[in-house]
Structure 1
């Protein structure tokens, strides 16, 4: 018999302002401990050196993680011109240098090539799998390998500040699977000056904004208290970009058993991913077809 996981049945989202240093997994583990929760996960990894918004799901909220990871995200980051590193950030070893520095106008002129639907090669020090192995593991062992380019939609990429000739601050809004480090690397190569990321901060992710984030230190300060419990956002917050379909009590019972049920809709179209609610409580997420929701995930709230 499998060992039963200890902890509370508590569900919701905690938006954390991650500091530089801990891994995303370490933040999730701290949150789970602080709430004494049975289950926790996050919606989108941040590198240890990165800061900013990390959305942590507890309990039934973990079933809504895909709808956050699939959403657009925004980042502010600083590029250091004049050097390429093996990790494409300041944590790695310098592998090439250049004396030239771009002007503001040259940077702005290059940005349209990195917006819209582009192909991007992830950094070699990344979690991308190559023949079943993580790329970063192969890179640490000095293995020779190539990573195929992947499609990415970049909705916006702007030059925000230029502190000095060696640095530029940019903001990017992109879809799932984007690597800021790759943008810095490729932009540096395009401008002929090389470049790597020195600072990276996530500003928002899907429906979650950094303004709603809890400082990492607060998690430990308020651990196992009602004050921390009160900071949880509802499970349905993650579903803000999907149509909400109210349903009757009878339909809610059918959906909870995994069966299609009739729902009310004024916004959903045939084939849309949507979620059903009863008296404001999320019941299930699924596909809307001809007046009914066909559930893919049932929420036990």
Structure 2
């Protein structure tokens, strides 16, 4: 018999402004403990030294994680020009150097090559899998391997500041699976001077913004009190990019049992993915067909 997981049946999102020096998993574990939650997960890993939005899903909200993972995200980061490292960030060893320093105009011109549908090679020190093993594990063991390029949508990449000749600040809006460290590395190569990330912050992810996030210190301070519950956002926030349809009481009951339920279509068309609500609360996500929602995920709130 499976052990029953201890904790509260609590559902929603807690947006954390992650500090540097803490892993995403550690943040999730801290939030789960602080809220005494049975179940928690996050929507998109941040490197340990990165800061910014880490959206933690609790309970039934974990079913909406894929929609945040797939949503657009924005990053603000600083690239150190003139040096390449083996990790593509400041935590690694310098493996190449150059005295070349591009002008502002050269940097802006090069950024155009990283916008739109591009192919990106993730860093060797990353969580991508190579023959079933994490790349970072192989890299730490000194293994010789190649990481395959993968597609990435970059909606925007702009230069926002040039503090000095050695550094440039950029902002990027991109889709799922983007590695800022790879952008810094490849930009440095394109400019003929090498480059790596020295500071990285995720400023928003889907509907969640860093400025609205709670700090880890606040999580500790408010742990296991009703005041921390007050910072929870409803699970419906995770469905912000999907169209909403409303259902009747009967439709909601059928959907909660995993059956197609009648909904009022609104602006959706046959075959669209959408979510159904009853009295303002999410009931299910599914495909709209001929006046009914065929559920793929059901919320048991």
* TM-score between the two structures when normalised by the length of structure 1: 0.99
Q: CA deviation at 1:19?
A: 0.3
1:151-201 CA-partner distances (Å, limit 9, x unpaired):
100000000000000000000000000000000000000000100000000
Aligned-partner Cα distance in 2 for 1:124–1:111: 23
Runs (4+) of structure 1 exceeding 3 A deviation are none
The equivalent of 2:64 in structure 1 is 64
The equivalent of 1:15 in structure 2 is 15
The equivalent of 1:273 in structure 2 is 273
The equivalent of 1:292 in structure 2 is 292
Q: Which runs of 5+ in 2 are unaligned?
A: none
Aligned-partner Cα distance in 1 for 2:120–2:290: 39
The equivalent of 1:105 in structure 2 is 105
Which SS does the other structure have where 2:177 is aligned? coil
Q: Which runs of 5+ in 1 are unaligned?
A: none
Does structure 1 residue 263 correspond to structure 2 residue 249? no
The equivalent of 1:6 in structure 2 is 6
* TM-score between the two structures when normalised by the length of structure 2: 0.99
Q: CA deviation at 1:212?
A: 1.4
Q: CA deviation at 1:75?
A: 0.1
1:198-242 CA-partner distances (Å, limit 9, x unpaired):
000000001111121011110000001111000000000111111
Aligned counterparts, 1:30-69, within 5 A: 30-69=30-69
The equivalent of 1:196 in structure 2 is 196
1:58-114 CA-partner distances (Å, limit 9, x unpaired):
000000000000000000000000110000000001111011011100000001100
Aligned-partner Cα distance in 2 for 1:206–1:156: 15
Aligned counterparts, 1:1-301, within 5 A: 1-301=1-301
Aligned-partner Cα distance in 2 for 1:155–1:235: 27
Aligned-partner Cα distance in 2 for 1:37–1:134: 29
Which SS does the other structure have where 2:151 is aligned? strand
1:105-147 CA-partner distances (Å, limit 9, x unpaired):
0000001100000000000000000110110011011111111
Q: CA deviation at 1:292?
A: 1.1
Aligned-partner Cα distance in 1 for 2:43–2:143: 30
Q: Would you say how many aligned residue pairs link Structure 1 and Structure 2?
A: 301
